[in-house]
Amino acid sequence: MAPITQLSQLDPDGTYSYADYLTWQLEESVELIKGKIMAMSPAPNVKHQRIALKLLRPIDNYFLRKSCEIFIAPFDVKLYDRRKSLLTNREAFSVVQPDLCVICDQDKLTEQGCDGAPDWIIEILSPGNSRREVRLKYDLYEESGVIEYWLVFPYEQIVQQFVLDDSGKYQLRALYPGNETAAPHLFPDLQIDLNDVFAE
């Protein structure tokens, strides 16, 4: 069978597994959400890259000599319903590349990336992100058991902080404007100055 090297070789209405994804040799970056191909936006713009790096620095420093680690895209995260046990690659249908993710369970790390939900995911919205994509990821992260999820709006200079409640549903815990200091629910002593993050 010929290798998959072009997105056009795949059926946009088809359903694919993580095992399929691992065989593809695409130049474009794609994610799988419940088996459906999601073409990623073009390469992040300068504003997006600056914000990612300015978030990465304080978080990475905070986790020095701690058990948690932060990873930056491109980095594969295989996700599945948290109510199910670990799935084989053939049974898993979602793989995403969050802008930033923090993983505290070292057993989830594999040669390919992360097998299961990170503790904390940060996504930085780009002009190309659709509302559908944002909603699909929100639902996927909630279902998969990502405890804390931040949505960063570069142009509005706002951070939305969602945290899973006892019923496993996201609650909007905080809405941080760009002139405040944000702190993750999971690591409250980690203080992130959003003035620095959003500075041009």
| 141 pLDDT tier (thresholds 50, 70, 90) | very high
Please state the domain extents for the chain: 42-198
Q: Let me know if 194 is exposed, middle or buried by CB neighbors in 10 A (0-12, 13-18, 19+).
A: buried
| 29 pLDDT tier (thresholds 50, 70, 90) | confident
Within 13 Å and on the Cβ side, how many CA atoms surround 132? 5
The domain 42-198 belongs to what CATH superfamily? Answer: tt1808, chain A (3.90.1570.10)
What single-letter amino acid sits at 191? Q
- For position 84, what pLDDT does the model report? 64
| 88 pLDDT tier (thresholds 50, 70, 90) | low
CA-CA-CA-CA dihedral for 131, 98, 59, 139, to nearest 10: 50
The answer to whether 30 and 155 have CB atoms below 8 angstroms apart is: no
- For position 86, what pLDDT does the model report? 57
- For position 87, what pLDDT does the model report? 59
Within 13 Å and on the Cβ side, how many CA atoms surround 167? 3
CA-CA distance, 12 to 190, in Å (whole number)?
42
> Which token pair is 141?
């992260």
What single-letter amino acid sits at 77? V
State residue 2 phi and psi, 5-degree precision. Answer: -65, 140
